[in-house]
Amino acid sequence: MKNNTAHYGYLFLFHTPLGIIQLKKALAAKGLTYSVIDAPRALTAECGMAVKLFLPDGESFLPLINEQVNAVYLINDDKPVLKWEDES
């Protein structure tokens, strides 16, 4: 049987590498898979690394945001779409 659950891809960008460590712990506790990748230069010049993950339909990325997250982008076929940004 095919799983029809939609998944949404997100790209988390960070101020510092500490944010990646914090997010990895939160994702592991939830049993979610992720990839640590080079942050696209077109999106940030800060930490240099990003976390890419997919969430099931209906699951929000907002509880995963920590104080080190700079921005969160929705990944689509055309270009990343900014969904949240640290305004401090």
Q: Of the candidates 54, 48, 87, which has an alpha carbon nearest to the alpha carbon of residue 71?
A: 87
**How many Cβ atoms are within 10 Å of 85's Cβ, its own excluded?**
11
pLDDT in tens, 15-71: 999 999 999 999 999 999 999 999 998 998 788 999 999 998 889 999 999 999 999
Q: Which token pair is 33?
A: 């898979």
pLDDT for res 56: 87
Q: Enter the pTM of the model.
A: 0.88
Question: Which residues touch 48 (CB under 8 Å, ≥6 apart)?
Answer: 38, 39
DSSP-derived secondary structure letter, 39: P
pLDDT for res 1: 38
